[in-house]
Amino acid sequence: MNWDGFRRFVLVSTLILPALLTAQLIPIREAIEDLDNDGKPDRRGQTVTVTGIVTAPDSIFDIRYTDIYIQDSSAGVNVFSFTFQNADLGDSVLVTGRVDLYRGKTEISNATITLLGTNRPLPEPRLLTCAQMNKEEYEGELVRISGVRIGAVFLQGNSNYVLEDSTGTTQVRIDAETEIPGFVCYPDTFTIIGIKSQYTSDTTQLLTGYQLLPRFRTDFSKDALSIPLRTIAETQRPGPDGVTPELLNTWVRVQGRITGPARIFTSGSSPSLYIQDQTQGINIYNCTSPAEQTRFL
Ligand SMILES: [Ca+2]
Ligand SMILES: [Ca+2]
């Protein structure tokens, strides 16, 4: 090796070797593991490198900093950095950072994110119950709870609500920076998807304060097929007083042709339109899907 070759060797070694040495790729489960069950990740303070699919992208939990969640086949984890870095839903990323603990939530902080690919399929949300939500297990993962009720219908930002199913209760946190504030949720049971996260108000109690973080309005869903299709006449049949519908405050599913489109009957911001089937017509109020509402038949 001549002098130039040696200098190039030294230069390449200096640049590449440290990156290789720090890039000991480990599964997320290993990065966050807590074998002594004290609520603190055993690798706290260590620098780790993991890969994963972005399950909660940038700008939905924090518009100033990087506050995302990633998941590999072993586990999920929060990735945080005071530097804003782009991460879209479904991105495959390489993350190097320090294993850290914030209010009971394990995170990879001071993280550097490298994009490896885009539009990867998201992991199937893990089906949990409210009782299972209140444990350390599966923290950082994308999860789903079915058959839940929520303690309020009009959802506001920076607010916590109680979720309840047949196994107990847990907490859902509506982050103000998501699109969710203002969403009118279901008054009866529904399915919710979100990140299983944690924020304990008492840092001496590291195994409390578990909360679900929905990301989008579409994380709240009603299984429409579980609601029987009814005729419009049946839907608005009056009860004993001859005026109040028997089905008042019940979720119903009807179908009909639009006879009065929303662009005629809407005043203010809540769309209003009329539909009709073979039996009767009915007013549809405060509906979604604006393109459909405005169509004339
Ligand atoms: Ca530990
Ligand atoms: Ca935790």
Q: pLDDT tens digits for the chain (297 residues)? A: 555 655 555 544 555 455 545 568 999 999 999 999 999 999 999 999 999 999 999 999 999 999 999 999 999 999 999 999 999 999 999 999 999 999 999 999 999 999 999 999 999 999 999 999 999 999 999 999 999 999 998 999 999 999 999 999 999 999 999 999 999 999 889 999 999 999 999 999 999 999 999 999 999 998 655 566 789 999 999 999 999 998 887 778 788 898 988 878 887 777 888 999 999 999 988 776 544 444 443
Transcribe 130-182 into DSSP letters.
Answer: HHHHTSSTTTTSEEEEEEEEES-SB--TTEEEEEEETTEEEEEEE-TTSS-TT
The torsion region of residue 59 among left (phi > 0), alpha (psi -120 to 50) and beta comes to: left
Report pLDDT for 122. 96
Report pLDDT for 289. 52
Q: Looking at the CA of 136, which ligand is closest?
A: 2
The CATH-assigned architecture of domain 26-117 is Beta Barrel (2.40)
Report pLDDT for 290. 47
Each domain of the chain, given as residue ranges in start order, spans 26-117, 126-224, 227-293
Number of residues that make up the chain: 297
Fold for the domain defined by 126-224: OB fold (Dihydrolipoamide Acetyltransferase, E2P) (2.40.50)
Q: CA 97, CA 49: separation in Å to the nearest integer?
A: 7
Counting other chains too, the contacts that 112-118 makes at CB distance below 8 Å and 24 or more residues apart are 112/81, 112/85, 113/66, 113/68, 113/79, 113/81, 113/85, 113/87, 115/86, 115/91, 116/51, 116/91, 116/92, 117/91, 117/92, 118/88, 118/90, 118/91, 118/92
Residue 47 CA, chain-centre distance (Å), reads: 27
User: How far away, in angstroms, is 40 Cα from ligand 1 center?
Assistant: 4
Report pLDDT for 297. 36
β pairing state of 126-127 and 142-150 = parallel
Report pLDDT for 118. 98
Q: Which helix (H) or strand (E) holds 183?
A: none
Which protein residues have their CB within 5 A of the ion that is ligand 2? 104, 139, 198
**CA distance readout (Å), 196 to 24, 55, 215, 219:** 27, 11, 11, 13
Taking the CA atoms of residue 288, residue 290, residue 296 and residue 297 in that order, the dihedral angle to the nearest 10 degrees is -40
Q: CA 273, CA 126: separation in Å to the nearest integer?
A: 38
User: How far away, in angstroms, is 106 Cα from ligand 1 center?
Assistant: 11
**DSSP letter assigned to residue 261:** -
Q: CA 18, CA 53: separation in Å to the nearest integer?
A: 25
User: How far away, in angstroms, is 33 Cα from ligand 1 center?
Assistant: 7
User: How far away, in angstroms, is 133 Cα from ligand 1 center?
Assistant: 20
Q: Looking at the CA of 44, which ligand is closest?
A: 1
Report pLDDT for 294. 46
Classify burial at 264, counting beta carbons within 10 Å of its beta carbon; exposed 0-12, middle 13-18, buried 19 or more. exposed
Q: What are the beta bridge partners of residue 113?
A: 95
Question: Do the domains at 26-117 and 126-224 have one common CATH topology?
Answer: yes
User: How far away, in angstroms, is 222 Cα from ligand 1 center?
Assistant: 39
- Contact (CB, 8 A) for 277 and 293: no
Which protein residues have their CB within 5 A of the ion that is ligand 1? 34, 36, 38, 40, 42
User: How far away, in angstroms, is 105 Cα from ligand 1 center?
Assistant: 12
**CA distance readout (Å), 80 to 158, 189, 199:** 19, 33, 15
